[in-house]
Amino acid sequence: MYKAFKPAFLGRLTVIPYYPLTDDALAEIIRLKLDKITGRIHDNYDVPCVIDDEVIEMILSRCHEVDSGARNADAIISHTLLPQLAGQLLAHDDSQSVLRKITVFVDADDNFAYRLDTDAVVALNQMAQYSEDETENQVEESPSKPLSAKKSAVKKPTVKKVASKKPTKKAIKEESL
CA distance 134 to 118: 26
User: How far does CA 105 lie from the centroid of its chain?
Assistant: 17
- HSE-CB of 92 using CA atoms within 13 angstroms: 21
* Residue 80 host element (H or E): none
Do 99 and 45 contact (CB within 8 A), yes or no? yes
Model confidence over 160-169: pLDDT tens digits? 444 445 556 5
Model confidence over 20-70: pLDDT tens digits? 889 999 999 999 999 999 999 999 889 999 999 999 999 999 988 876 777
Q: What does each C-alpha distance from 156 to 77, 135, 148, 160, 161 come to in angstroms?
A: 45, 12, 14, 13, 16
Do 97 and 121 contact (CB within 8 A), yes or no? yes
Q: Residue 155: what pLDDT?
A: 46
Q: Considering only the top CATH level, what class is 21-120?
A: mainly alpha
**Which residues have a Cβ under 8 Å from the Cβ of 59 and sit 6 or more positions away?**
30, 73, 76, 77, 81
Largest CA distance in the chain: 102
The domain locations on the chain are 21-120
**Which residues have a Cβ under 8 Å from the Cβ of 21 and sit 6 or more positions away?**
29, 69, 70
Model confidence over 140-149: pLDDT tens digits? 554 444 444 4
